Amino acid sequence: MKIIACIKQVPDSEAKVKAENGQVSWGDAPLVINPFDEYAVEGALQQKETTNGTVTALCIGPESAKDALKHALAMGADEAVLVSDSALDGLDTLGAARVLAAAIQKIGGADMVVFGRQTLDNGAGLTPAQTARVLGWPMLGLAGQIKVDGGNVTVERVIEEGRQTVSAKLPAVLSVVQSIGEPRYPSFMGIRKASKAAIPVWTLADLGVAAPTALVTRAELMNPPSRETKVEIITGESPAEIADKLADKILAEKVL
Partner 1 sequence: MDFALSPEHQMVQKMVRDFAQKEIAPVIKEHDRKQEPIPTALKRMGELGILGICIPVRYGGQGMDYLTLGLACEELEAVDTSLRVAMSVHAGLCSLNLFQWGTEEQKERLLVPLASGEKLGCGAFTEPGMGSDVAAMTTTAKRDGDFYILNGEKMWISLATKADLAMVTVKTNPSARKASEGLSAFIVDLHSEGVKTGDIHGKLGVRAGSTGWISFTDVKVPVANRIGEEGEGFKITMSGFDHGRYTVASGATGIIRASLEASVSYAKTRKTFGKPIAEHQLIQEKIAKMAQDYEIARLLYYQVGWLKNQGKRSTRETSYAKKFATEASFNAANEAIQIHGAYGFSDEYDVERYLRNSKGAVIYEGSSEIQSLIQAGYALGERTDKPLRCELPAYDESVWQS
Eight-class DSSP state of 81: E
Among the residue ranges 18-26, 93-101, 137-145, 188-196, the one whose residues contact partner 1 (CB under 8 A) = 188-196
Q: How far apart are CA 33 and CA 100, in angstroms?
A: 17
Q: Which residue is nearest to ligand FAD (CB)?
A: 116
**Least distance (Å) from partner 1 to the CB of residue 195?**
4
Q: How far apart are CA 143 and CA 153, in angstroms?
A: 11
Among the residue ranges 49-57, 67-75, 141-149, 218-226, the one whose residues contact partner 1 (CB under 8 A) = 67-75
64 in contact with partner 1 (CB under 8 A): no
Residue 39 binding result from partner 1, ligand FAD, none, given CB thresholds of 5 to 8 Å by partner type: none
Which 195-214 positions form the footprint of partner 1 (CB under 8 A)? Answer: 195
Q: How far apart are CA 84 and CA 103, in angstroms?
A: 11
Which 166-185 positions form the footprint of partner 1 (CB under 8 A)? Answer: 185
Residues 6+ apart with CB under 8 A from 212: 91, 92, 94, 95, 98, 99
**Least distance (Å) from partner 1 to the CB of residue 81?**
19
- 221-246 CB burial, b ≥16 within 10 A, e <16: eeeeeeeeeeeeeeeeeeeeeeeeee
Interaction site with ligand FAD (CB under 6 A): 6-8, 34, 36-37, 40, 58-61, 89-93, 96, 100, 115-116, 118-119, 121-128, 216-218
Among 17, 29, 158, 191, binds partner 1 (CB under 8 A): 191
Cβ distance to partner 1 smaller for residue 13 or 165:
13
Residues 6+ apart with CB under 8 A from 162: none
Q: How far apart are CA 101 and CA 204, in angstroms?
A: 12
